[in-house]
Structure 1
Amino acid sequence: MNKAELVSAMAEKTALSKKDAEVALKAFTDIVAEELKKGEKIQLVGFGTFEVSERAERTGRNPQSGKEMVIPASKAPKFKAGKALKDLINK
């Protein structure tokens, strides 16, 4: 499912116009991104948790030359599914 299909499905399910559904989806993604950027965690009970995972600096290897290199520390967004979502998928 792509973004357009998601907007259509949201509009159908909520009786909103497609334009309103798209605005709601954009607001949701913007808020999640802003909170993760601040280092906050977003918990949606029954659905899952969005949080930031910290990756430490480590040594890697360039696959073309075989030369060792340092991969800098970074942060990455992470989603962990909640129990209710896992149970729904595994039925």
Structure 2
Amino acid sequence: MNKSELVEALANEKNLTYKKSEEIVSIIFDAMSEELSVGGRIEIRGFGSFVVKDYKAYMGRNPKTGEVIEVRPKKLPFFKVGKELRERVNK
């Protein structure tokens, strides 16, 4: 499912216009993105949680040339699935 399919599902389920559903989904995604960008954590009971993990710098290799390069430290979002969702998927 992509964002537009989610918007359509919300519009159909709650009898909203497509534009209103799109606005709601955008507000939710923007709020989640903002929270993660400031280092916060998002937990949705029964679904899972989102956190930002810090990765240290390390020496890597360019796969094309084999040259050793320095990979700078970075932060990446990480999703951990919740128990209820895991059980539902594994039924």
Q: TM-score normalised by the shorter chain: which range applies?
A: over 0.9
Q: 1:69-80 alignment to 2 at 5 Å?
A: 69-80=69-80
Q: State the partner residue of 1:33.
A: 33
Q: Which runs of no fewer than 5 residues in structure 1 stay unpaired?
A: none
Q: State the partner residue of 1:67.
A: 67
- Percent identity between the aligned chains? 40
Q: Which runs of no fewer than 5 residues in structure 2 stay unpaired?
A: none
- Is residue 2:5 matched to residue 1:5? yes
- State the TM-score, normalizing by the size of structure 1: 0.93
Shift of 1:22: 0.6
- State the TM-score, normalizing by the size of structure 2: 0.93
Code of the residue aligned with 1:84 in structure 2: it is: E
* Offset from partner CA, 1:14-56 (integer Å, 9 cap, x none): 2222111111100011001000010000111111101101111
When structure 1 is superposed on structure 2, of 10-19 and 52-61 the one drifting more is: 10-19
